[in-house]
Amino acid sequence: MKFEDYLENNVVIIEISGKIMGGEGSTLFHGRIHEYINQNKKKFIIDLSKVDWMNSVGLGMLITAMTTVKNAGGRLILVNITKIESILTITRLISVFEHYDNRKEAMKALTA
């Protein structure tokens, strides 16, 4: 798993690519989320369009990220979930995560 992160209109965009299976990438991911929260950045869009596959550890990574952001008074939205939609549906987490088809819709929701 790799990820790139940047700010756009005071919203943190994190683009994840590859296979989400935990490990060092997951640790770095959580570290970046905490860094942004410490900078008082609390709106996150996680773009999953380049994710090939995800296991249960990867799901746990996303759940932990969402919990961290919510506990800080923020909001986390998933976008482009097509490739992992079935695992989110099977685990019933589809109803737990706020999600949109694309980044434009998510940005609109966060900045409204």
Cα 105–Cα 112–Cα 102 angle in degrees, nearest 5: 10
Predicted confidence (pLDDT) per residue in 84-103, tens digit = 899 999 999 999 999 999 99
Answer for the pair 100, 79: CB distance below 8 angstroms, yes or no: yes
CATH number for the domain spanning 101: value is 3.30.750.24
Residue 51, φ and ψ in degrees, nearest 5: -85, 130
Predicted confidence (pLDDT) per residue in 30-83, tens digit = 999 999 999 999 999 999 999 998 998 999 999 999 999 999 999 999 999 998
Answer for the pair 68, 35: CB distance below 8 angstroms, yes or no: no
What's the number of domains the chain is made of? Answer: 1
Domain that holds residue 14: 2-111
Half-sphere CA count of 6, side-chain side, radius 13 A: 3
